[in-house]
Amino acid sequence: MESIKIKHQQTDNMEKVRLERITDDELLDLKKALEKKKDSEDFYGILSVLKVLTHKQITLEHLQNTKIGKTISSLTKIEVKGKDSDNEAQNIRQQAESLIERWRKVSKMEKNKKIEQKPESKPEPKPAQAQGIVTDSNHSSAGNGSARQGLFIPLGLKIHTGTGYRDAMIKKFIELMQVPPDEDNYNEDQLDCAAHLGNNIEKELFNKFPNIKEYQDKARSLVFNLKDSRNPELRVSLMQGILNPTQLVTMDPKEMASSQLKEQRDKIIKDNLNSRRTDWHLENAAAKGNVGFFTCRKCKSKNTTYFQMQTRGADEPMTNFVTCLDCKNQFKC
């Protein structure tokens, strides 16, 4: 009983001490010092560090970030081999227990404070229904615009087919079509138009691909292209009537791709075709300025061009393929 009273007195005294602020880095340094002194059985050093900790303002965030609580807990069970250090070991255990008890109180208080400050959940407002629009809790994930608005489904628009996967796809297409191409949100008329477009896309998709596997494969392709943030033109074309749902579901991925992606594909195709030409390396080397570095072995002209290829091991130098622009002689070196 007496030891318990002493322990509570120590805790009360520690709470009355004016506490100093400390950073995570400083606390980590003290933690490392404690672990080092514990390994070397430097009991006096441990007590010194514990004394420093009693004057520091430790928060729940500190404890979570540094995990110093585990180190202090290990000191509550510290034992000594010799009798000379019995008193020091007992002091360490008491100091560690006092710190742990104080930090538990701090953690409990801060957690309770967070719970009290947590805002109560409020019922969702229903002004949209009064305007003839139903809102869904889903949020759009496509595009770069500020499209984090709810899913708007106009009253009277039937989106239930009785088939689960079809109903899910209708909502998905409506969600994607209601993503604006820029920072401005769509107005009510635009959302209404987008909802009907999304619904019609699914209808045309099902009419064209009644087989479930073909339907799902095409649906994945459409979703991928409609939500591509680099290709807002596809959604805009549908909204402006340049493209209609019937045309969309018959397009292949290449046709739906963004203009940037089409240009990249065209360039790759062109490069592949050029690389098959016998004179492509010659033309490409000349364009890069690889002219005049080698002397023709046949006519001794320096009007030559070359390109390099790795024909041997990776650790070996590359082979130079030289062509004389005067006599067309070719050699390698």
Show me where the domains of the chain are located: 2-117, 127-262, 278-332
pTM metric for this prediction:
0.40
CATH class of 2-117: mainly alpha
CATH number of 278-332: 2.20.25.10
What pLDDT score was predicted for residue 173? 93
What pLDDT score was predicted for residue 207? 94
Burial of 316 (0-12, 13-18, 19+ CB in 10 A): exposed
- Tens place of pLDDT per residue across the chain (333 aa): 444 444 444 444 444 456 788 888 888 888 888 888 888 888 888 888 888 888 888 888 888 888 888 888 888 888 766 665 677 888 888 888 888 888 888 888 887 877 766 555 444 444 443 334 444 444 444 444 444 456 888 888 888 888 888 999 999 999 999 998 887 788 888 899 999 999 999 999 999 999 999 999 999 999 998 988 888 888 888 888 888 999 999 988 888 876 665 566 566 666 666 555 555 555 555 555 556 778 898 898 888 887 777 777 777 888 888 888 888 888 888
Close Cβ partners of 154 (under 8 Å, ≥ 6 residues apart):
132, 133, 134, 191, 192, 195, 196
What pLDDT score was predicted for residue 134? 47
CA-based nearest residue to 34, from 19, 20, 24, 47: 47
What pLDDT score was predicted for residue 177? 92
What pLDDT score was predicted for residue 272? 61
What pLDDT score was predicted for residue 132? 42
The alpha carbon of 53 is separated from its chain's Cα centroid by a whole number of angstroms, namely 38
Distance between CA atoms of 120 and 124, rounded to whole angstroms?
12
